[in-house]
Amino acid sequence: MKLFDVYPLFDVNIVKGKGCHVWDDKGQEYLDLYGGHAVISIGHAHPHYVEAISRQVATLGFYSNSVINKLQQEVADRMGALCGYDDYQLFLINSGAEANENALKLASFHNGRTRVVSFSKAFHGRTSLAVEVTDNPKIIAPINDNGHVVYLPLNDVEAMKAELAKGDVCAVIIEGIQGVGGIQLPTTEFMKAIREECDKHDTVFIVDEIQSGYGRSGRFFAHQYHGVRPDMITMAKGIGNGFPMGGVLISPKFKPVYGQLGTTFGGNHLACAAAIAVLDVMKEENLIDNAAKVGAHLLEELKKFKAIKEVRGCGLMIGMEFEEPVKELRTKLLFEQKVFTGVSGTNVIRLLPSLCLSMEEADDFLNRLRHVLK
């Protein structure tokens, strides 16, 4: 049977990882500044993580959400303490799209409305509502194109105010930092204005922290730089360090109703063991502070490169925008310099390494980049 061929692949077979390095099947080592698309939070094959998952799968890998699973409460307690949202409620699912899907659904149950405000260049996933709030017509199938969404320019306070003033907007959904859109940052003024207008018009404020959250920005969530508290926060990627998991943090003003949301796999024992191990390591190794420190160093140094048109980002979520398409540069970085990086559109290279990236590894990357830009 053939695989359904939707991914343009690099001709590399990665078989092993350790920290911020991966190896291919020929034994070639690579520096991983991509983290498997912002997924690897605590580093590849961290011994505590390996031990926790191995122990759990040997004990109980899965049982359904029809019985008590104390590991879910442990995830909630530890996450609440680390992220500063101890008073919120946690709903666990399996992916980022599912997190946004459930957040939007809950918002609509809450205020009975169906219209959503999203922003230009937004990416929120590929399932029905998640893709409808994504600003990319190429991936919205006719069946998903249901007219629920208005896309407004990012950071345009007046446009957002005018739309919410219509009084029928169910939710505003915005990324903590736009990832797929090329590392675009919302301003503090904008985030505060969304909070105010949502309060005024009973609209639900959802921040998608699937890529920008879980310590990547140098704070647990990127929106915490702006001093706002959304009604819901969606997470995935780094939460399980590669184990598929997603979550929605839900403000106390939403009251749970039996059966309104649900999932077979979400919050299963093995996923929870992975998530607990990730939180242990993040705390133990101060990875959020490390992301802030190493990220600031990278940003400062990258801004000195004359060949880069603009450097944007926060912590270890960095975009380098070039005048010309970056396809060749990224290919050279991978095959000549043995560095994995990400991409946004045609002209932006994205850096999304594990939060354990050391200063030495950051400098090593800068040297390798210098080689291809000279």
Binding site for ligand PLP (CB under 6 A): 95-97, 100, 123-125, 175, 179-180, 208, 210-211, 236
**Residue 79 to residue 92: CA distance in whole angstroms:** 12
In the complex, what is the shortest distance from the CB of residue 234 to ligand PLP, in angstroms, rounded to a whole number? 7
β-strand partners of 232: 206, 250
Minimum distance, C-beta of residue 131 to ligand PLP, in the bound complex (Å): 9
| Least distance in angstroms from the C-beta of 123 to ligand PLP | 5
Closest CA to 371 of 318, 324, 307: 307
Q: CA-to-CA distance for 143 and 133, rounded, in angstroms?
A: 14
Nearer to ligand PLP, 124 or 330 (CB): 124
User: Tokens 């937004």 — which residue?
Assistant: 122
Residue 238, φ and ψ in degrees, nearest 5: -65, -15
For ligand PLP, which is the closer residue by CB, 125 or 319?
A: 125
Shortest CB 209 distance to ligand PLP, Å: 8
210 or 272, CB closer to ligand PLP? 210
Do the strands 232-235 and 339-340 form a parallel or antiparallel pair, or are they unpaired? unpaired
Least distance to ligand PLP, CB of residue 130, Å: 7
71 or 236, CB closer to ligand PLP? 236
Query: Contact 286/304 with Cβ under 8 angstroms?
Result: no
Q: C-alpha distances in angstroms, 344 versus 34, 58, 213?
A: 12, 40, 18
Strands 339-340 and 29-32: parallel
Interior angle at CA 285, CA 284 and CA 289, nearest 5: 115
Whether the Cβ atoms of residue 244 and residue 35 lie closer than 8 Å to each other = no
CB of 231 to ligand PLP, least distance (A): 17
Report the nearest approach of ligand PLP to the CB of residue 158 (Å).
25
C-beta of 37 vs 293, nearer to ligand PLP: 37
Tell me phi and psi for residue 233, to 5 degrees.
Answer: -130, 130
Q: What are the residue ranges of helices labelled H in the chain?
A: 35-38, 47-59, 70-83, 96-111, 128-132, 157-164, 188-201, 269-284, 287-302, 327-335, 359-373
The smaller minimum CB distance to ligand PLP, of residues 204 and 236, is found at 236
d(CA 372, CA 333): 7
Q: How far is the CB of 68 from ligand PLP (least distance, A)?
A: 27
Closest residue by beta carbon to ligand PLP? 96
3-class secondary structure, 227? coil
In the bound state with ligand PLP, the residue whose beta carbon lies nearer, of 172 and 369, is: 172
The answer to whether 211 and 179 have CB atoms below 8 angstroms apart is yes
Whether 194 and 188 have beta carbons less than 8 Å apart is answered as no
- Using alpha carbons only, give the angle 310, 315, 321 rounded to the nearest 5 degrees: 20
Closer residue to ligand PLP (CB): 316 or 369: 316
We find the least distance from the C-beta atom of residue 239 to ligand PLP, in angstroms, to be 10
Pick between residue 222 and residue 298 the one whose CB is nearest to ligand PLP. 222
Cβ nearer to ligand PLP, comparing 228 with 369: 228
CB of 95 to ligand PLP, least distance (A): 4
